[in-house]
């Protein structure tokens, strides 16, 4: 068994939050298991981290909507490292369509990736974490689910399917925290506001970004993936040992969670 803590990150190889979390956790000393639906980028990030840290990183192509594939990855992680300490559910998908015009496929796909995908990963990771605790009393595990301020904002900017899925993640987080505290497992959610990346810039209209830093953000800038990675780094650390079942907003004050 490795001495390092082992963290699985989903959707880890994109242009945004998942990759920033992976880089940060590697920096923090974790064995980071890079998983993403995009095969080539998965390998590229693993190679980048290996080059930077002088140690190998496991990478697996994984679509979180595939329940059995998630199970296979967890199995491979246990085979390779003998432990699983952290799960970061970062995979998300969205397509903006008003409810009155939404294709049923849009609704289903969004719920499937964002909410069911989070469930699929927790469903496979939790029994492993619970078992580890029963054999090693000191063992503590952490799950962080990436939600969004879309979970509670009254806005036309997010889309109802995405908002519903992200709100569902908050409920899933709270109940899983309640069920698993006794097993030494903490479960929290992070709800980002706008977190800039180049890919988003290409798919959202300019109006979405223009004036955001000046008029909406309370700190005069838009969020960066590293802002979320820093929060996750804290939540998975021992410093956050008394924190579970919570939602942490990272939105530059745009939409704080009460
Ligand atoms: N960027 C924002 O402004 C923002 C705001 C609030 C919440 N979020 C949430 O943060 C998370 C990360 O968003 P991001 O914009 O930083 O993108 P990201 O770059 O972290 O994620 C994009 C990656 O997701 C992967 N992916 C898509 N569908 C997948 C699936 N079914 N299984 C596995 N991987 C899949 C893609 O291959 C891509 O590499 C998402 O859950 C998103 O909803 C983002």
Pocket test residue of 10, 12, 13, 14 for ligand 1, highest count of atoms within 8 A of CB? 14
Local confidence pLDDT in tens for the 258 residues of the chain: 889 999 999 999 999 999 999 999 999 999 999 999 999 999 999 999 999 999 999 999 999 999 999 999 999 999 999 999 999 999 999 999 999 999 999 999 999 999 999 999 999 999 999 999 988 878 899 999 999 999 999 999 899 999 999 999 999 999 999 999 999 999 999 999 999 998 888 877 787 788 898 999 999 999 999 999 999 999 999 999 999 999 999 999 999 997
Q: What is the pLDDT of residue 137?
A: 79
Q: Is 160 touching ligand 1 by the criterion CB < 6 Å?
A: no
- Domains, the chain, in order of start with CATH, read 6-250 (3.40.50.720)
- Please give the helix or strand (H or E) that residue 35 lies within, else none: strand 31-36
d(CA 166, CA 146): 8
3-state secondary structure of 91: coil
Q: Is 17 touching ligand 1 by the criterion CB < 6 Å?
A: yes
* Ramachandran quadrant class, 222 (left: phi over 0; alpha: psi -120 to 50; beta: rest): beta
The number of helix segments (H) and strand segments (E) in the chain equals 9, 7
CA of 35 to the centre of ligand 1 (A): 12
Structure tokens given for 52: 């930077």
Eight-class DSSP state of 181: G
Q: What is the pLDDT of residue 199?
A: 85
Q: Is 227 touching ligand 1 by the criterion CB < 6 Å?
A: no
Q: What is the pLDDT of residue 177?
A: 98
Ligand 1 atom with minimal separation from the 225 CA: 16
Nearest to 246 by CA among 254, 234, 235, 230: 235
Beta bridge partners of 8: 33, 87
User: Is 162 annotated in the active site?
Assistant: yes
d(CA 182, CA 252): 34
List C-alpha distances in Å: 24 to 31, 223, 229: 11, 16, 6
Q: Is 146 touching ligand 1 by the criterion CB < 6 Å?
A: yes
């Amino acid at each position: 068994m490795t001495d390092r803590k082992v963290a699985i990150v989903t959707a880890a190889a994109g242009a945004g939050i998942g990759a920033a979390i992976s880089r940060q956790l590697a920096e923090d000393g974790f064995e980071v298991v890079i998983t993403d639906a995009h095969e080539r980028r998965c390998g590229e990030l693993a190679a980048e981290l290996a080059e930077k840290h002088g140690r190998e990183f496991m990478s697996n192509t994984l679509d979180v909507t595939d329940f059995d594939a998630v199970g296979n990855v967890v199995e491979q992680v246990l085979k390779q490292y003998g432990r699983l300490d952290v799960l970061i559910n970062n995979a998300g998908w969205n397509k903006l369509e008003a409810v009155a015009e939404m294709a049923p496929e849009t609704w289903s796909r969004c719920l499937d990736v964002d909410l069911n995908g989070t469930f699929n990963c927790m469903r496979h990771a939790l029994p492993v974490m619970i078992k580890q605790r029963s054999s090693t009393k000191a063992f503590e595990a952490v799950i962080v689910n990436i939600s969004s301020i879309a979970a509670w904002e009254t806005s036309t900017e997010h889309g109802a399917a995405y908002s519903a899925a992200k709100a569902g993640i908050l409920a899933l987080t709270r109940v899983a925290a309640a069920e698993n505290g006794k097993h030494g497992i903490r479960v929290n959610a992070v709800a980002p506001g706008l977190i800039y990346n180049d890919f988003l810039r290409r798919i959202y209209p300019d109006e979405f970004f223009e004036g955001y830093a000046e008029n909406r953000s309370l700190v005069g800038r838009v969020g960066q993936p590293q802002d979320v990675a820093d929060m996750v780094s804290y939540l998975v650390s021992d410093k956050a040992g008394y924190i579970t079942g919570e939602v942490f907003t990272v939105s530059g004050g745009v939409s704080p969670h009460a």
